[in-house]
Amino acid sequence: MAGSFWCLVEDDRQGNPKKVMAEVLGEAGRLASQAGGQAEAVWLTDKATEAGIKQLGEWGAKRVLLLENPAFAPYRGEVWAPVLAELCLKESPQAFFGAVTARQREAMARLAARLGAGLSADSTALALEDGTLVATRPVYAGKLLSKMTWAKMPWLATLRPNVFKPADSQQGAVAPVEKPAVTLPAAVMSLVERREDSSTGLPELAEAEIIVSGGRGLKGPENFAILESLAKAIGAAVGASRAAVDAGWRPHRFQIGQTGRTVSPKLYLGFGISGAIQHLAGMRTSKVICAINKDPEAPIFKIADYGIVGDLFEVAPLLEQEFKKLLEK
């Protein structure tokens, strides 16, 4: 429907939309109200919950298109993309947004290819100019910002987490649910899935408001315990530079940078990270950057809002103590 700004729901596989959906729906709602349309949620899942549907309504979805089928979990691009394309062709949304998460990055790219439509991946700003959507996205490892627009609808975009203002929760708002019929593609891949609980008990990197990140300066995997302790005290996620990941000190999913995750927390604390351009590509849009490095010439200080020249092994425990004192007040 013209005027429909769709948002692909990212859920936690327990029937709850993730927090990043507040941002995607908030931005879709803002643009839709300017365009005289409405934000709507498209949820492909094996398990929706009433609470999840209620949450989408409170975050501003005016309609939830719910496709509930065991075939949708775990995520498989070759199942999701044709279904999303069929829905788009039936309903002609004006825009379709996702979040920059592993599955949505892939799903939206596959969808764009199927529709022959343009995709602004990893967008950091969206605006309507003369009735057309204009997206801003960083290129060349964040050194330049490119602006792009679309030759045809739907306008497809993925939105970088922690950049867009989350929707204000509208308590009691209810989104009607529709369950459109779609053709499920025959499975072309059989999937052997092994699931391991790899949770660290700390927030996820992509969603965290504070990230404590470590690099080669940590000198060994055992020293990440220092950062984990600090992270626990302030509710932060722990990230790493590629040097730390390549050395086998942290799994790749914690890597921040051009070939890792792109993050944009409210506060980024970098310990023993030099600030190579490829690392900056993944964190330079953080709201406040604080670097801790014993080398005053380290390039990370050029983009840091706050810098501490010192030995991280002394500074990290001191910071933890001080944060704890503040939090106890």
Applying CB under 6 A, among 78, 168, 305, 311 the residue interacting with ligand FAD is 311
Q: Does 260 bind ligand FAD (CB under 6 A)?
A: yes
Q: What angle do CA 319, 325, 329 make, to 5 degrees?
A: 145
Q: Taking Cα atoms as reference points, which of 287, 238, 249 lies closest to residue 265? A: 287
Residues 6+ apart with CB under 8 A from 279: 215, 241, 242, 256, 257, 258, 273, 300
Question: Nearer to ligand FAD by C-beta: 94 or 241?
Answer: 241
Tell the smallest beta-carbon distance from residue 156 to ligand FAD (Å): 25
Strands (E) across the chain are located at 4-8, 38-45, 64-68, 95-99, 119-123, 125-129, 132-139, 144-149, 155-159, 177-178, 210-214, 237-240, 267-271, 288-293, 306-309
Binders of ligand FAD among 214-243, rule CB under 6 A?
215-217, 241-243
| CB 317 to ligand FAD: min, Å | 12
Find the binder of ligand FAD among 279, 290, 291, 301 (CB under 6 A).
279
Spatial strand order in the sheet of 288-293? 237-240, 210-214, 267-271, 288-293, 306-309
- Residue 31 interacts with ligand FAD (CB under 6 A): yes or no: no
Min CB(10)–ligand FAD separation in Å: 22
- Pick the closest to residue 207 from 230, 228, 236 (CA basis): 236
Nearer to ligand FAD, 46 or 204 (CB): 204
Is residue 295 involved in binding ligand FAD (CB under 6 A)?
yes
CB of 243 to ligand FAD, least distance (A): 3
- CB under 6 A: which stretch of 58-66, 113-121, 195-203, 252-260 binds ligand FAD? 252-260
Number of chain positions touching ligand FAD (CB under 6 A): 28
Nearer to ligand FAD, 154 or 215 (CB): 215
Please select the residue that binds ligand FAD; options are 161, 272, 319, 320, rule is CB under 6 A.
272
**Residue 247 makes contact with ligand FAD by CB under 6 A:** no
282 belongs to the binding site for ligand FAD (CB under 6 A): yes
**Beta carbon of residue 262, minimum distance to ligand FAD (angstroms, whole number):** 9
**By the rule CB under 6 A, 285 interacts with ligand FAD:** no
Question: In whole angstroms, how close is the CB of 311 to ligand FAD at the nearest point?
Answer: 4
**Per-residue DSSP letters for 125-176?**
EEEEETTEEEEEEEETTTTEEEEEE-SSSSEEEEE-TTTSPPPPP-TT----
Q: What are the tokens at 286?
A: 């953080």
CB within 8 Å of 266: residues ≥ 6 apart: 162, 209, 210, 286, 287, 288
Q: Is 320 helix (H, G, I), strand (E, B) or coil?
A: helix
Q: In this structure, what token pair is assigned to residue 127? A: 């605006």
- Candidates 85-93, 97-105, 113-121, 278-286: pick the segment binding ligand FAD (CB under 6 A): 278-286
Comparing C-alpha atoms, which of 131, 103, 133 is closest to residue 120? 133
DSSP character for 7?
E
DSSP state of 209: S
276 contributes a contact to ligand FAD by CB under 6 A: yes
Is residue 138 involved in binding ligand FAD (CB under 6 A)? no
Which residues make up the interface to ligand FAD (CB under 6 A)? 215-217, 241-244, 255-260, 272-274, 276, 278-279, 282, 292-295, 298, 311-313
